[in-house]
Chain A
Amino acid sequence: MTRVFGKMLKKFYKKDPVEEIIMRMPPQLVGGAFFYAKIRGGKTAAMLSMALRYKDTYGYNIVDMYGGERNENMYALLSSDEINYWDYVKKKFNIKDNQEGPKQYKYIVWTPYFKTKIPKKRPHDPPNVINKLITIPFKEIEIEDMKSGVNSISDTALSLWRDCLDDSKNSDAGPELKETIKKKKGENQLIYKNLLKPLIDEQFLQSKTCIYNLDILNDMKNRDAIKVLNLNHVPQVYHLFIIAWILRQIKDLLHKGKIKKRNVFLFREAREIFNVKDDSVTDDRIKWFRKLLINYIRYGRRGMHMFVDTQSPSETRGIVEGSQDLTFLGRTPATSREDRAAIADALYSVGKITKKQIEMLGDLNPGEFFIIENNEDAKKRYVLLPRTLYWKEKYKNFDNVWAQHVDKWIKTEEDKKMLNDDFRDRENKIKEKEKFEKGMEKLIVVKKIKPVEDSQKPEDTEIIETQKIKETEEITANL
C-alpha cells in the first residue's frame, strides 16, 4: 500500500503542469521577424514583447527605429502598469520571487534637433531615460541617404553634392554648406530646395565637430540601453531620410567590426513603406527606402535583424519571403480574401499552415498568433504583454502619460541658444567674408582704374588706397 502510494506521489511530482502550457523562447535570430494582424490584433505589443525577450534572454541590442504616426515607440520608456496581469503571470508560472513582471529598462532617446519644431522640454530621467538631442554631420551624408529624403535626384545634383563635400572642411556647418552650394550655383537643385536647405535652416545639419552629433558608436556599444528614435516633432517628409542615415551608419560600423552583431531594429506600421499594392502613387523616396529596408532585412547574418509589423502578408508579398525566422499571424478577418490569399500563397503552399488554421485566423484573441518558426509548422500561441508600457487607444499624447508617471524633463533652451549662437556666428562670418571680398574687389578695381590718374594726382590715390587698406585690415581683424 505504502509503495503504491509512494509511486503515485513520485509520478505526480515528476509532472510539472506549467511546462505543458509554457511557450519557450525561440532560438537566436538569423533573419528577422514579421508580425501580421489587423487593428487590435496585438501585433505591436507582441513585437515589442518579443524584442525585449530577445534582449533579456540573449542580450540583443534593441533600436526602436520607428513608432509610426502615433509615436508608439516612446511608451516603452515606462514600465508596464498591468500589475494584476503580471501578478497572475508570476503566480501561474511559478516565477521566482525576486523577479518583477513590469520592468524599467534603460533607454537612450535620440531626439533630432529641429530648431522650430523641437519641444521646450523633453522626457529625461537619468539613469533610466537619457534624452539626447541629435544632429548629423553633413559631411557624412551619402547620396544614398538623400534618396530617402527627396523623390528624384538628377546627375547634376549628384555631382554638385560630391563637389560640395570635396570643397567643405570638417569644421564647416550648415551656413558654410549653403554658401558653397550658392557658389556652385546649385540653389535650384531639388535636393537643396527640398532637403538640404530646410535641414540647414532647422540647424539639423552640423559640422563634424559639433558636440550634438549623434555618437552612434558609443550609443551602440552601450548594449544595456535600448535606443529609441523620437521623430514626434520631425516633419514626416524627413523621417525616412533620418532613419536611412542612421541605418547606414550602423551598417558601416558593423562592416568595420566596431560594434557587435545581434542588433534588432523595430519598425511599426511598416505598411506605409511596404504597401506595394498601389505602387503607382507611392513616392520615389518611399520606394527607395523600401529597397533599402529589404536589403537590410537580408542582412541578418551581418548582425541587423528587422522586426516589422504590418497589417497583412499581402503587403510584403514577394519582398521578405525566406528572410524571416519568425512569422506571427494574428487576427485576420474572414472577409479579407486578399490577405488570406497571401497567407495561402506564402505559407499554405509550402505546408507551414493548414487550411483549418487559416480558417481560425478570424477567431484569434488579441495577443494570440499562429507562430511559424523557421523550419516548423504553425503553432497557436499567446504572446505575453511587454514588460514595459505600450500604446493603447486611451493614450492621447505621450507627454501627458510621462507627466502622469514620471514627470521629469530636460529643457531644450540652453542647447537651442548654443546652436543658434553658433549658427548666427557662422552666418555673420560669412557676411563679413563677403564684405571683405567685395572690398577687395573694389580695391582691385580702383587699382586698375587709377593708374592714369595716379601720375596726375599721386597724393589723392595714396589717400584712397590707405583708406581701403585700413578698411580691409579692420574686416580681417574682425574675422
Chain B
Amino acid sequence: MKATDFTREEIQEISKYILANVPYSVLEQIFPLTENPRKKAEVFTIMYRIINSSVGYVKNDDTKNKLKKLLSGCESEYKEIYDILLKLNSSMIFGRHSLFNQIILIFSDFDRNYKINCLIDVFLVFAEKQILRDIDKVIGVTTDNIKGEEVVKELSKLVKD
C-alpha cells in the first residue's frame, strides 16, 4: 500500500486524528528519517501503533480496510521488532548485542526493509501539517505575488460563462 492509494479526504481524516492526538512536538521528534537501526525500529513501532489506533477513529469502512491492509503488510515485522525492543529495554547489558543483531538482520533483508520504509513514508503523509480552514475565512487571493496570480489564472479558467 502507498499513500497514493488513499484519497485526499481519507488522508485529511486520518491526519486530523494524528494531529489531534499526537502533539506536534512529539511528531517532530519521531520524524527524523534515521537509518540508525535502533532508532528506526523505535520510529517504526511508534508509527505502526499510531496508525493502528487511527483505524478505530475513521468512519468510512473503505478507509478502515485500507489502513488494515497497510498494517497487515508489515505486521510480522512489527511483532518481531516490538518483541526485540521489549527485550532490549529490559535485558542485561551482555545480552543486548545479540538482540541488536536481530534488528539489523530484519533491516538488512531488502523486502522487509522496504515494507517498513513504506509504512514510515505513508505515516509522513498522514502526519503532514495541514491547516484546515473555514471556508468563511477565505474571501480572496493575494495577487501581489506569482503564486497568487497562478491561482487566479486557474480560477478564471474554471468560471462558467
Give chain A's interface residues, CB within 8 Å of chain B: 2, 5-6, 9-10, 13, 16-25, 49-50, 53, 56-57, 81-82, 84-85, 88-97, 99-101, 365-368, 379-385, 387, 392-394
User: Which residues of the other chain, A, contact B26 by a CB distance below 8 angstroms?
Assistant: none
A6-B135 in contact given A23-B141, A382-B141 (Cβ < 8 Å): no
User: B148 touching A382 by the CB < 8 A rule?
Assistant: yes
- Bound-state Cα–Cα, A10 to B156, Å: 35
Q: Which 6 residue pairs spanning A and B have beta carbons closest together?
A: A23-B140, A56-B136, A21-B148, A382-B141, A85-B158, A99-B135
Known: A17-B147, A82-B159, A88-B154. A94 touches B136 (CB 8 A): no
- 11 further A-B contacts with Cβ under 8 Å, apart from A18-B131, A365-B152, are A2-B36, A6-B31, A6-B32, A16-B129, A21-B145, A82-B159, A85-B155, A100-B135, A366-B156, A379-B142, A382-B140
Q: Number of B interface residues, CB 8 Å?
A: 39
Interface digits, B1-36 against A, CB 8 Å rule (1 contact, 0 not)? 000000011001100000000000000100111101
Given A18-B131, A89-B155, A366-B156, A392 contacting B139 (CB threshold 8 A): no
Q: Are B137 and A381 touching (Cβ within 8 A)?
A: no
CB distance from B130 to the nearest CB of A (A): 5
Report the minimum CB–CB distance from B29 to chain A (whole Å): 9
Q: List chain B residues, Cβ under 8 A from A383.
A: 139-140
A382 in contact with B9 (CB, 8 Å): no
- Given the contacts A17-B147, A89-B155, A10 and B136 also touching, CB distance less than 8 Å: no
Residues A96 and B139 in contact, CB atoms below 8 Å apart: no
Q: B28–A10 contact, CB under 8 A?
A: yes
User: Within the assembled complex, what's the spacing in Å between the Cα atoms of A6 and B132?
Assistant: 24
Question: Among residues 95 to 140 in chain B, which have CB atoms less than 8 Å away from a CB atom of chain A?
Answer: 128-140
> Quick one: given A82-B158, A97-B13, are A384 and B139 in contact (CB under 8 Å)?
yes
Pairwise interchain contact B160-A82, C-beta atoms closer than 8 A: yes
Q: Is the CB of B141 within 8 A of A381?
A: yes
Shortest CB-to-CB span from B37 to chain A, Å, is 13
B161 in the interface (beta carbon within 8 A) = yes
Mind listing 11 A-B residue pairs with CB under 8 Å? Answer: A19-B131, A21-B145, A25-B137, A365-B156, A367-B152, A367-B156, A380-B142, A380-B143, A381-B142, A383-B139, A387-B135
Partner of B141, one of A13, A101, A366, A384: A384
Contact of B152 among A17, A19, A82, A382 (CB under 8 A): A382
Whether, in the assembled complex, B50 has its beta carbon less than 8 Å from a beta carbon of chain A, the answer is no
A228: shortest Cβ distance to chain B, in Å? 21
CB-CB under 8 A for A90 and B139, given A2-B32, A81-B160: no
* Measured CA separation A435–B156 after assembly (Å): 71
* Distance of A92 Cα from B12 Cα, bound (Å): 14
A382 to B150, CA, bound (A): 12
Q: How far is the CB of B136 from chain A (nearest CB, A)?
A: 4
Expressed in whole angstroms, the Cα–Cα distance for A18 and B140 within the complex equals 12
Residues of A within 8 A of B143 (CB): 368, 380-382
User: Are B133 and A2 interface neighbours, CB within 8 A?
Assistant: no
**Taking A18-B131, A21-B147, A384-B138 as contacts, is the C-beta distance between A5 and B32 under 8 angstroms?**
yes
